[in-house]
Amino acid sequence: MAARLLDMHPQTLRKYERLGLVRPARTIGSMRLYSAEEIERLRFIKRLVEDEGVNLAGVQRLLSVAEVMQRIRPLLDERLVVSDAPRRRRLLRALLQLHDGLGLDGR
C-alpha cells in the first residue's frame, strides 16, 4: 500500500529499508507498517533522488545532517546557552557530529 501511495516500486522501499533510510514497524506476519512520519521521509527521499538527482549515499548524508539539526534546534535558545553549561556541552557535541557528518576537515 505504501508503494502505491508513493508511486514507488515495493523493491525500492525494501532497498531503502536495507540501507537504513527508513525503519518501518512490522506486524506479527512481518508486514511492513509505515508511520505518517516515514511516509513523509520517503516522499523527501523520492524528491531528492528523482528531482534533485541526489544519489543514495548523498541522501544518507543529508538525512544524517537533518537528524543532527533537529537535535540542535532546541538547544539554540541564546539565554539558556549562556547560562546552562550542560546545554552548551550538548550543543557542542551536536555541532561536532554535524561537522563530522558533513565530512568537514577544518584544516
Q: Which three cell numbers stand for residue 50?
A: 528523482
Specify the CATH number for the domain of residue 31. 1.10.1660.10
Q: In this structure, are 29 and 7 located in the same domain? A: yes
Inform me whether the pLDDT recorded for 9 exceeds 50: yes
Number of domains in the chain: 2
Q: Whole domain around residue 7: which residue ranges?
A: 1-54
Same domain, 22 and 68: no
Q: d(Cα 22, Cα 37) in Å, to the nearest integer?
A: 10
Q: What's the pLDDT tens digit per position in 68-78?
A: 888 877 777 77
In the structure, what pLDDT confidence band is assigned to residue 64 with cuts at 50, 70 and 90?
confident
Give the 3-state secondary structure of 31-97: CEECCHHHHHHHHHHHHHHHHCCCCHHHHHHHHHHHHHHHHHHHHCCHHHHHHCHHHHHHHHHHHHH
pTM strictly above 0.75: no
42 and 75 part of one domain:
no
12 and 50 housed in the same domain: yes
Q: Which residue has the cell 544519489?
A: 55
- Do 49 and 81 belong to one domain? no
For residues 79 and 5, the model is more confident at 5
